Amino acid sequence: MRHGKAANQVFPVVFNDDQLKSLQPPALLIYGDRECTLDIHLAVSRATQLIENVKVGIIPGANHLTAVSNSEMTNRAIINFLDDNNR
């Protein structure tokens, strides 16, 4: 958001390496390609090194709020992930 404050301010949590390693697969990590809160390349690199069986989705045209800035692609990524892991 450029002006004002979000009604439900949710700030990203940075997990340490041990916390990432403890995540139970499967896991889906979604970022917008216009993310400006953190370095998505670094986050994706850490996640793929430390989380077993993680799938990464980079949502085109989306910022930190992927579900708001590109809801169609975000929903599709989640549905595909759930479908793939429900077999």
pLDDT tens digits, residue range 29-87?
Answer: 999 999 988 899 999 999 999 998 899 999 999 998 898 999 999 999 999 999 998 86
pTM for this entry: 0.75
Residue 13: Cβ within 10 Å count: 6
Domain spans in the chain, listed from the N-terminal domain onward? 24-84
Q: Tokens standing for 80?
A: 């595909």
| Token pair of 82 as six digits | 């759930």
Tokens 């970022």 sit on residue: 31
